[in-house]
A = this chain, B = another copy of it.
Amino acid sequence: MNKTLGIGIAGLGTVGQGFIKQLKSFKAGSKKAANIKVISVAVKNLRKKRNISTPSLPMTNNTMSLANNSEIDIVIELIGGSSGIAYKLVKKALSNGKHVITANKALLAMHGNELAKLAEKTNVSLNFEAAIAGGVPVVKAIRENLRFNSIRKVYGILNGTCNYILTKMENNEGSYQFVLNEAQKKGFAELDPTFDIQGIDAAHKITLLSCLAFDIPVNFKSTYVEGITKIDNYDFEYANELGYTIKLLSVATKSKDKIQQRVHTCFVKLSSEIAKVENETNAVVIEDSVIGRNMLIGPGAGAGPTGASVMSDLMDIVRETKNYPLGVSINKKKIMKIAKIEDLFFAYYLRISALDKAGVMAKISKALSKRKISIKSIIQKPSNKSSFAEIILITHKIKEALLISAIKQIKILPEVSSSVKFIRIEDSL
């Protein structure tokens, strides 16, 4: 533990600045951290104005130099992006026998298997606590502890931006678009929020958690992804009336022979713990057959939380903690089939806008009953469009393919407006 470790930091955005700030205050107070030396900090633009003072830092704009600098033992990749320079840097650094710490979930979701294999080959650490749920120590908890307990389900709120927007909508603070704009102004949402609001960021994260929890390879392309863009304030109104709220949930489950990996909005019971996770907070629930249930709640983003997680990864390397990057050796990972969303069973919230005429309900009911979809409850409301009514149906559990087929039939009814919305219900949380 007494050897000096040289670190190279690539990227000086929110996470990078948070980490450097913490490293400074930490070095002031700890002898152990005195053995950590910042050798190089790589940024794209040396002249960009930043919130932290950089003159004292060994800056470079040659990012790839970090992978080749013999004084650097640990490369900390905080650039982001699944390809390009981040990928090249991490690959090269691992090949050259340097430990890598990254906050880059996109990179790992796309190239995690390859990079883990490389890290195993050169016998170095590849740590990524900051990549999932920011300051919540969930990667370590699953990778080093909970994984041994036959985990059957990992789920949670993994995207703070979406949860912030949904919370504001639930509290009647405006429309989706208004709330998104406000979030952007406050810095809670990116200027280009696509990855967040489309569920892609959450999908990267749940793919990695699934890989860690179930000892399977990273398989992002099989993760089902839906974002929050189709939710409106009426959905919240109807949800509340029925005892639910709406969350963007990330879910991974394992049954005998199949994995589920999915991200989509869900109706969750107002009384559930997950419903109470508000604003930009993240939460992860781990259900297994030994412990039962663990829930971890904390901040999912921000300079402090992500910086702290990078620091935690660094201290694991300082302590010479040995871990396979993805829990077990990549050679021991078992490939399992990932279920298609159409083959899964859910109860559904269905929202149909239809002319307020006799016989419409009968036609809708017929389309459903033909496919053995039974209805648990119905609400009918006058629509904001005159002469239309909003029909809200809650179904019992049914295979999704059947619901999709029923919706197709309902959509072509002349009395029904073309948009028929459905949201899955997670009743068991």
Q: Check: A191 CB closer than 8 A to any chain B CB.
A: no
Q: Which residue of B lies closest to A136 (CB)?
A: B294
For A140, the chain B residues whose CB sits under 8 A away are 140-141, 144-145
Min CB–CB distance A329 → chain B (angstroms): 10
Nearest-neighbour CB distance to chain B for A313, whole angstroms, equals 9
Q: Is A299 within 8 A of B291, CB to CB?
A: yes
Residue pairs across A and B with Cβ atoms less than 8 A apart, 30 shown, are A1-B322, A31-B332, A129-B145, A135-B294, A137-B141, A137-B145, A137-B146, A137-B294, A140-B145, A144-B312, A144-B321, A145-B309, A148-B308, A148-B311, A148-B312, A149-B308, A149-B311, A290-B304, A290-B307, A291-B305, A291-B308, A292-B298, A292-B305, A294-B296, A294-B297, A295-B295, A295-B296, A297-B297, A319-B321, A319-B323
Q: Is the CB of B292 within 8 A of A299?
A: yes
- In the complex, whether A379 has a CB less than 8 A from a CB of chain B is no
Q: How many copies does the complex hold?
A: 2
Instruction: Flag whether A408 is at the interface (Cβ < 8 A).
Output: no
Task: Name the 10 nearest CB pairs between A and B, nearest first.
Answer: A135-B291, A145-B312, A294-B298, A295-B297, A290-B308, A290-B304, A291-B305, A137-B145, A291-B308, A137-B141
Interface: A237 (CB within 8 A): no
- Chain A interface residues (CB < 8 Å from chain B): 1, 22, 25-26, 31, 129, 134-137, 140-141, 144-146, 148-150, 273, 276, 288-299, 302, 304-305, 307-309, 311-312, 315-316, 319-323, 332
Q: Is B319 touching A291 in the complex (CB atoms < 8 A)?
A: no
Q: Return A242 CB to nearest CB of chain B, in Å.
A: 21
Interface of A, helix, strand, loop or mixed by DSSP: mixed
Contacts of A291 in B (CB 8 A): 134-135, 298-299, 304-305, 308
Q: In the bound complex, what is the Cα–Cα distance between A134 and B140 (angstroms)? A: 18
**Shortest beta-carbon distance from A76 to chain B in Å:** 15
A149: chain B residues at CB < 8 Å are 22, 308, 311
In the complex, which residues of chain B have a beta carbon less than 8 angstroms from the beta carbon of A25?
A: 150
- Nearest residue, chain B, Cβ from A133: B294
Pick the contact of A298: B26, B148, B295, B323 (CB < 8 A): B295
Complex formed: what's the CA distance from A305 to B311 in Å? Answer: 29
- Residues in chain B near residue A312, CB distance under 8 A: 144-146, 148
Residue in B134, B290, B295, B322 whose beta carbon sits within 8 Å of that of A305 in the complex = B290
Contact residues in B for A295 (Cβ distance below 8 Å) = 295-298
Report whether A148 and B299 are in contact in the complex, using a CB–CB cutoff of 8 Å.
no
Given A146-B308, A294-B297, 14 more A-B residue pairs with CB atoms under 8 Å apart are: A135-B290, A140-B144, A145-B308, A145-B312, A148-B315, A288-B308, A290-B308, A292-B298, A292-B302, A294-B298, A295-B296, A295-B297, A295-B298, A321-B322
